Amino acid sequence: MTFEQYPTRLPCGSRVLDLAHTHVMGILNATPDSFSDGGRYTHVDDALRHAAAMVAAGATLIDVGGESTRPGARVVSPLEELERVAPVVEAINRELDVIISVDTSTPAVIRETARLGAGLINDVRSLRRDGALDAAADTGLPVCLMHMLGEPGDMQDDPRYGNVVAEVASFLEGRMAACAAVGIGSERIILDPGFGFAKTLEHNLSLFKHMEALHDLGRPLLVGVSRKSMIGLALKRPVGERLHGGLALAALAMVKGAKILRVHDVAETVDVVRMIAAVNAAE
């Protein structure tokens, strides 16, 4: 089945993402407190080595983040976030042939990392921080708009929906309209249902099951479920034992038309993507 109702060539700064295929985005947390790999990549050399390994394993995007979005994580200042992320973006851009996505909501980080070679802005707050829409518009880069209610610190305090799929779609439509108002056309937008952000297990499962409804918005979908609690809760697994559940969801997301899979376990996910692509290419 094909879901693309949009041009498949997405310019990302000096590189191009071909959305005719499903891509694996490797996660690089330059944070001391992320939920599954906190503190391992806070030094530039370690981060670059890890990014290089993910690229060698088949990642076509690397998502660099300097602020943990884990529930209850400490809020960092724009300067601290920039000091964590900027040297990593600069080093990856210098050394590797890969699209650098920057996981940020902070206008100064958006502007500076775009200057240093980032190719995509990935904002879990969908550019709702003051100044973020204008900063993103000025970069000319594509943006990933993700659904979340509230802030990471309070998002899991009893989230409620009448119809989670319809409400996520309507939120994303509203953020696309806000982008359009500052000159970020729909051709620059990637959409993300925001699994694990202000959602119970039941919300996450239902949203995943009915993900195809989001194709009506006419933009490529990014899915991030790697090692998340929806796998832990469904399978009763601690964070270190969620690989198989994550691969099952990666396969299902690809079959449902997701174009970017944001993951920690790149090599394993690339095998999933290549296997499904091989079947899809058969007579």
d(CA 131, CA 100): 22
Give the interface segment with ligand 9MG, choosing from 35-43, 51-59, 134-142, 189-197 (CB under 6 A). Answer: 189-197
Residue nearest to ligand 9MG (CB): 224
Q: Report if residue 122 touches ligand 9MG, rule: CB under 6 A.
A: yes
Min. distance of Cβ 62 from ligand 9MG in angstroms? 12
Q: Which stretch binds ligand 9MG (CB under 6 A): 39-47, 112-120, 134-142, 187-195?
A: 187-195
**Residue linked to tokens 């708009």:** 145
Backbone angles phi, psi at 136, to 5 degrees: -65, -40
What is d(CA 7, CA 115) in angstroms, rounded to the nearest whole number? 26
Instruction: State which residue, 239 or 283, has the beta carbon closest to ligand 9MG.
Output: 239
Please give the structure tokens belonging to residue 135: 């900063």
Is residue 165 at the binding interface for ligand 9MG, with CB under 6 A as the rule? no
Told to check if 124 binds ligand 9MG by CB under 6 A, we report yes
Taking the C-alpha atoms of residue 90 and residue 118, their distance in angstroms, rounded to an integer, is: 8
Cα separation, 135 vs 113, whole angstroms: 11
Binding ligand 9MG by CB under 6 A: which of 55, 262, 265, 269? 262
What is the smallest separation between the CB atom of 281 and ligand 9MG, expressed in angstroms?
28
* Bridge partners of residue 11, in order along the sequence: 16
Residue 109 has which token pair? 């980080």
Considering only 224, 245, 246, 257, the residue that binds ligand 9MG (CB under 6 A) is 224
Task: Supply 84's token pair.
Answer: 């964590």
Judged by CB under 6 A, does residue 65 bind ligand 9MG? yes
Specify the 3-state DSSP secondary structure of 222: strand
Interacting residues with ligand 9MG (CB under 6 A): 65, 69, 103, 122, 124, 144, 146, 192, 194-195, 222, 224, 262
